[in-house]
Amino acid sequence: MPQVNSVILKTLGKIILTEIDFPKGVFFTLTRVYTTPSLDRAEVYFSVFPPNKVSLVEQVLSDNIYKIQQYLNKQMHIRRVPKIEFIYDKEEKQAFAVEELLDKLSETE
């Protein structure tokens, strides 16, 4: 599955970059993909900066999910293309919070 996950991640990155418009000042990153062994589903994790724009990005992705899936179906050269599901990557948010705390600590020293 790691190869399939990697190909889906790269392909979706290109699709989203060229076909989906996010509001100005919002940075969107695909972080990882997990597909089921049967290739029925692919959980696509993403991060957003600033973090307070997550719901806005989720809405943009939801509004364009059919379009994104169609592009993925056309570009993937496998028998069964998994149905994609976007999930906000909370691990990235936690890492960002830890990084902010470390920055604050270094400023006080």
Number of domains comprising the chain: 1
Residue 18 buriedness (CB in 10 A; 0-12 / 13-18 / 19+): exposed
Q: Residue 40's domain spans which residues? A: 2-108
For 44, the token pair is 């696509």
- pLDDT score of 78: 85
- pLDDT score of 93: 62
- pLDDT score of 104: 73
Distance set, CA 27 to CA 31, 40, 106 (Å): 12, 29, 26
Per-residue pLDDT of the chain (109 residues; tens, 9 = 90+): 789 999 999 999 999 999 999 999 999 999 999 999 999 999 999 999 888 999 999 999 999 999 999 999 999 988 899 999 999 998 766 666 666 667 777 777 6
| Total-model pTM | 0.82
- pLDDT score of 98: 65
- Whether the CB-CB separation of 109 and 37 falls below 8 Å is answered with no
- pLDDT score of 92: 65
25: left (phi over 0), alpha (psi -120 to 50) or beta: left
Supply the CATH number for residue 53's domain.
3.30.300.20
Q: Identify the sign of the CA torsion 90, 94, 95, 97.
A: positive
